Amino acid sequence: MNNNLKIKMGSLPPSWRGLDGLPKTITFCVTENCNLACKYCYMTGKNHFKKMTFETAKRAIDFILSDTDNFKEASVVWDFIGGEAFLEIELVDRITDYIKQQMFLLDHRWFNSYRLSFSSNGLLYGTPAVQKYIKKNKSHLSVGLSVDGNKIKHDLQRIRPDGSGSYDDVVKNVPLWLSQFPNASTKATFSHDDLPYLKDSIINLWKLGIKNVAANVVFEDVWQDGDGIIIEQQLKGLSDYVLENKLWSEYSVRFFDPNIGKPLKEEDAGRNFCGAGSMLAIDCDGNFVPCVRFFNISLNNREPIYIGNADTGINQDKVRPFLALNVKSQSLPECMTCDVATGCAWCQGCNYDMADTDTIYQRAIYLCNIHKATVRANKYFWNQFECVTGLPSERIDQEGENRQGIKKYLQFITSDDITPHCAYRNTKGTNNIMAAEVLEKGLAYCSKNGYTPAFLGIPGETDSEKYQEYIVIDKAGQAGNTVSVFDNTAENQDESGVGILLLNRNNIQNLYEIIEKLFTQLYRVNLVIEDLFGWDNEDTELYRTELDKLVVLMADKYMQGEELELNVLTDIWNLKAMKNCDAGINSFSLAPNGRIYMCPAFYFNDPDSHVGTLEDNVTIKNPQLLLLENAPICSACDVFNCDRCKYLNKKMTNELNIPSKIQCVVSHIERNQSMKLQKLIKENSSCQYENILGEIYYLDPLEKLLKI
Amino acid sequence: MTGELVGTVTEEEKNEILVLYERKMGIEELAATLDSDLLSDDKKESLQDKMIAELGKVTVNMQLWWDRMYEKYRWKSIHGHKWNIDFQTCEIFLIE
């Protein structure tokens, strides 16, 4: 998985953007009839009698194609909706033919850049008439089918007029649909009643082969107390499922969009995220409205806002309020300053329908708590993602987000007896245990200061279930570990897919054997050398030999489709810059004594080397020495996954920012073996990497530095 | 897209060939509308004539675009292989 650069989770295939990125969308409501009566449908006025005539459509098309002043876009999406548009496929076909012929005969620019779009409930998808239409227009067509999740959830909402569910009849058309539109997504909609089925629903859609799920929640006033807890639990469960099954590179659901749940940027305030007003929708009578949600059949409390028709043209004064809309002008002040504002969506039509007066400038905020719960689960997913994969979270802004935007961790050293997870060990025989009071204070400190807690060991003498939601790193064999630690052995494997292997110099010759065993259960191993300060040339040579054997093993596994990950060999392939020890910058450790350290190694070495307490702020003297830019050797180095252990630096060179020679040599041995493995895999597969490793002449970048 | 990546074109150059490609697809899919009764026989005939003429033009223009781009970029070529463009990325691939 590590070799695949694409993290798909949370993103959706881009919609067609035409020539200039902003195609005009023109929607025809060809019928107000539907063969379903979905409980949550906003079109509450659907009926069996009203449909568009061809003449009405023709008048609208003639008007639109002749009005080049108001329709200046380079590209167009001709969209068909109902009710259920496929109920009127013959009418749609006739309208489509007319559009195509007229665009061509009039030499209209849209002939060179148009699409036909449908949102359908899928019941009629396999009928000969619909299939004939699809074949006729294949290269210009996109069709979305609505499948809501699993059978229980779908049939709870998407019912026929007689009350029976529609799941089975829709699902039988999914394989045909996916064969014709392989990248299609479905828009599963969730409401109060069906939240308990959210996790299973998304999984079911993925299992049906629908890899992109544009899931959303209804905007209306349906939410009840406790719904936030349910959606958060459901999404966290889904998150665990994704990580356990390594689905992040192939599957996606919008709830895990890494861009949601951030504060608004200044420029966001002046934008609008709804296309009402820049789109045009035409009802069965030929009336123009800003979007389908402003149709008469879509509104419960308000009159439609008509912005024109084919005979009178478009009333620009009616359009102006839509064009002028932005986030700020329709939002409450607290929404503008909300810490998790991005991705909190709204529907302009719903806003209008629910507003206290007949205005489009009052944003409905019924889903506020649901959005906040979604963001909590979203953050949980990406935190766990980082922890499990070792890859950076997609939530980190690619445009150089400031350090405060990056995740900060507080590791809880729950006792002096913990199994070490990095290059440290309690050699003094102390027996301190973190008291519940310190632990609670630590969690409060995290909450107040924006730290993500990570438990080293299971908190003793406390209600362990209470801490299940947190990252737990503990010795292998324990239930509930996020990451298991294997202390110089491959024994006691548990259900976690990721493990840390601690290795000391007495076990170098067993490295291959241990990792081979671990790979029978784990897909990722983080190798940590715990006593590098004691290694000599003989040790490094032995280490190189063992890595050599692992290169062959892993290359074989890759050929068989098993993309195993060993941090020292595979992480560098996806890195373009240093990503390593964050101790003292974004990661600190809380010891049983209530003091805060740069990392556990400093605590176990000297309990007086703390950098703060829970009561005081963390204070580090010469903090610039922790930064890469103040580390001259590391700045010149391209072993981006090197441990850069600050404790080891201090211990061996007396400088936090200067690595020891053994650190550099071992890292470069790993780099060279990584290069070998990468070449072997590249020769035999189409794998692509962010970082292609080349030959270098040195094992210690100081040599390179001194040559310049 | 499969094949060997041999070069890229600019966004403007990509849009030139994209318009031609879309026009060609549009004309090809227009043929099926001739079965409908939307046009009189005379109009149908003139539509058909226009389609034939425009299809010829667009095919020639597409070839001219590839010739012009090859002249400019000198991409790798292999006998029996052809170039393809990825409209999302502006990348040119050599495929068998």
Q: Does A306 touch chain B (CB under 8 A)?
A: no
Q: What are phi and psi of A671, to 5 degrees?
A: -60, -45
Chain A and chain B share a number of CB contacts under 8 A equal to 49
**Alpha-carbon gap, residue A631 to A624, rounded angstroms:** 9
A298 HSE (CA, 13 A, CB side): 25
Q: What is the percentage of chain A residues whose pLDDT exceeds 90?
A: 65
Question: B13 to chain A: nearest residue by CA?
Answer: A19
Q: Which residues are CB-contacts of A400 (< 8 A; sequence separation ≥ 6)?
A: none
Q: Which of B29, B51, B54 sits opposite A139 (nearest CB)?
A: B29
**Alpha-carbon gap, residue B96 to A575, rounded angstroms:** 33
> How far is CA A96 from each of CA A88, A108, A178, B32, B45, rounded to the nearest angstrom?
12, 15, 23, 11, 19
Burial of A457 (0-12, 13-18, 19+ CB in 10 A): buried
**Alpha-carbon gap, residue A567 to A388, rounded angstroms:** 12
CATH 3.30.70.20 for the A408-702 domain, yes or no:
no
Q: How many CB atoms lie within 10 A of CB A506?
A: 10
State whether B33 and A97 contact (CB < 8 Å). Answer: yes
Q: Which of B33, B35, B44, B91 to mutate to test the interface with A (most CBs of A within 10 A)?
A: B33
CA nearest neighbour of A302 among A42, A32, A84, A29: A42
List where CATH 3.20.20.70 sits in chain A: 17-145+277-324, 408-702
pLDDT at A370 over 60: yes
Tokens found for residue A410: 């507080």
Q: Does A139 touch chain B (CB under 8 A)?
A: yes
- Mean pLDDT, residues A428-445: 90
Q: Which residue has the higher pLDDT, A183 or B38?
A: B38
Q: Among the listed ranges A126-140, A181-195, A363-377, A494-508, which one has the minimum average pLDDT value?
A: A494-508
Q: Does A624 touch chain B (CB under 8 A)?
A: no
Rounded to a whole number of angstroms, the distance from the CA of B26 to the nearest CA of chain A is 7
Q: Does A55 touch chain B (CB under 8 A)?
A: no
Whether the bond between A83 and the residue before it is cis, its omega within 30 degrees of 0, is: yes
Question: Is residue A279 very low, low, confident or very high in pLDDT (cuts 50, 70, 90)?
Answer: very high
pTM over 0.90: no
- Mean pLDDT, residues A560-569: 90
Q: What is the per-residue pLDDT across A210-244, written as a single tens digit (0 to 9) for each?
A: 999 999 999 999 999 999 999 999 999 999 999 99
Q: Does A111 touch chain B (CB under 8 A)?
A: yes
Side chain identity, residue A200: D
pLDDT for residue A402? 38
Rounded to a whole number of angstroms, the distance from the CA of A593 to the nearest CA of chain B is 56
Q: Which residues are CB-contacts of A613 (< 8 A; sequence separation ≥ 6)?
A: A594, A595, A596
| ipTM here | 0.93
**Alpha-carbon gap, residue A9 to A250, rounded angstroms:** 7
Task: Identify the three-state secondary structure at position A690.
Answer: coil
The partner residues of A143 in beta bridges, in order of sequence, read A118
**Alpha-carbon gap, residue A656 to A51, rounded angstroms:** 75
Q: Does B33 touch chain A (CB under 8 A)?
A: yes
pLDDT for residue A401? 41
State whether A101 and B38 contact (CB < 8 Å). Answer: yes
Task: Identify the three-state secondary structure at position A53.
Answer: coil
The CA-to-CA distance between both ends of chain A, in Å, stands at 38
Burial per residue of A392-417, b for 16 or more beta-carbon CB atoms within 10 angstroms, e otherwise: bbbbeeeeeeeeeeebbbbbbbbbbe
Do A214 and A12 contact (CB within 8 A), yes or no? yes
Tokens found for residue A492: 């006691």
pLDDT at A141 over 50: yes
State whether A94 and B36 contact (CB < 8 Å). Answer: yes
Rounded to a whole number of angstroms, the distance from the CA of B14 to the nearest CA of chain A is 10
> Residue A153 is inside which H or E element, if any?
helix A151-157
State whether B30 and A112 contact (CB < 8 Å). Answer: no
Do A540 and A662 contact (CB within 8 A), yes or no? yes
pLDDT at A406 over 70: no
pLDDT for residue A465? 65
Do A633 and A649 contact (CB within 8 A), yes or no? no
State whether A113 and B19 contact (CB < 8 Å). Answer: yes
Strands A24-29, A76-81: parallel, antiparallel or unpaired by DSSP? Answer: parallel
Q: What is the per-residue pLDDT across A107-131, written as a single tens digit (0 to 9) for each?
A: 999 999 999 999 999 999 999 999 9
Question: Is residue A496 very low, low, confident or very high in pLDDT (cuts 50, 70, 90)?
Answer: low
Residue A114 with chain B: CB contacts under 8 Å: 22, 26
State whether A104 and B47 contact (CB < 8 Å). Answer: yes
Give pLDDT tens digits along chain B (96 positions).
678 899 999 999 999 999 999 999 999 999 999 989 999 999 999 999 999 999 999 999 999 999 999 999 999 999 999 999 999 889 999 998
E strands along A184-332, which residues? 185-186, 189-190, 212-213, 216-217, 252-253, 280-282, 287-289, 308-309, 313-314
pLDDT at A312 over 80: yes
Write the DSSP symbol of residue A356.
Answer: S
State whether A140 and B25 contact (CB < 8 Å). Answer: yes
pLDDT at A204 over 90: yes
Do A52 and A360 contact (CB within 8 A), yes or no? no
Residue B27 with chain A: CB contacts under 8 Å: 104
pLDDT for residue A462? 57
**Alpha-carbon gap, residue A183 to B62, rounded angstroms:** 28
CATH of region A17-145+277-324:
3.20.20.70
Q: What is the per-residue pLDDT across A240-257, written as a single tens digit (0 to 9) for each?
A: 999 999 999 999 999 999
Q: Which domain holds residue B62?
A: 4-95
- Which own/partner contact pairs does A304-308 have at CB distance under 8 Å and 24+ positions apart? A305/A352, A305/A360, A307/A280
State whether A19 and B38 contact (CB < 8 Å). Answer: no
Q: What is the percentage of chain B residues whose pLDDT exceeds 90?
A: 88
CA A675, A678, A683, A687 torsion-angle sign: negative
Cα-to-chain-centroid distance, residue B91: 16
CA A191, A195, A197, A198 torsion-angle sign: positive
**Alpha-carbon gap, residue A450 to A410, rounded angstroms:** 10
Q: How many domains does chain B have?
A: 1
Q: What is the per-residue pLDDT across B1-24, written as a single tens digit (0 to 9) for each?
A: 678 899 999 999 999 999 999 999
Rounded to a whole number of angstroms, the distance from the CA of A112 to the nearest CA of chain B is 5
Q: What is the percentage of chain A residues whose pLDDT exceeds 70?
A: 96
Q: How many CB atoms lie within 10 A of CB A543?
A: 23
State whether A19 and B19 contact (CB < 8 Å). Answer: yes
Residue B26 with chain A: CB contacts under 8 Å: 100, 103-104, 111-112, 114, 140
Q: Which of B15, B30, B47 to mutate to test the interface with A (most CBs of A within 10 A)?
A: B30
Burial of A385 (0-12, 13-18, 19+ CB in 10 A): buried
Residue B13 with chain A: CB contacts under 8 Å: none
Rounded to a whole number of angstroms, the distance from the CA of A556 to the nearest CA of chain B is 24
Rounded to a whole number of angstroms, the distance from the CA of A631 to the nearest CA of chain B is 37
Strands A483-487, B4-8: parallel, antiparallel or unpaired by DSSP? Answer: unpaired
Residue ranges in chain B assigned as alpha helix (H): 11-30, 41-73
Q: How many CB atoms lie within 10 A of CB A16?
A: 14
Q: Which residue has the higher pLDDT, A472 or A150?
A: A150
Q: Which of B30, B50, B54 sits opposite A100 (nearest CB)?
A: B30
> How far is CA A396 from each of CA A401, A406, A586, rounded to the nearest angstrom?
7, 6, 13
State whether B32 and A136 contact (CB < 8 Å). Answer: yes
Question: B19 to chain A: nearest residue by CA?
Answer: A112
Q: Which of B18, B28, B33 sits opposite A101 (nearest CB)?
A: B33
Q: Which of B22, B47, B55 to mutate to test the interface with A (most CBs of A within 10 A)?
A: B22
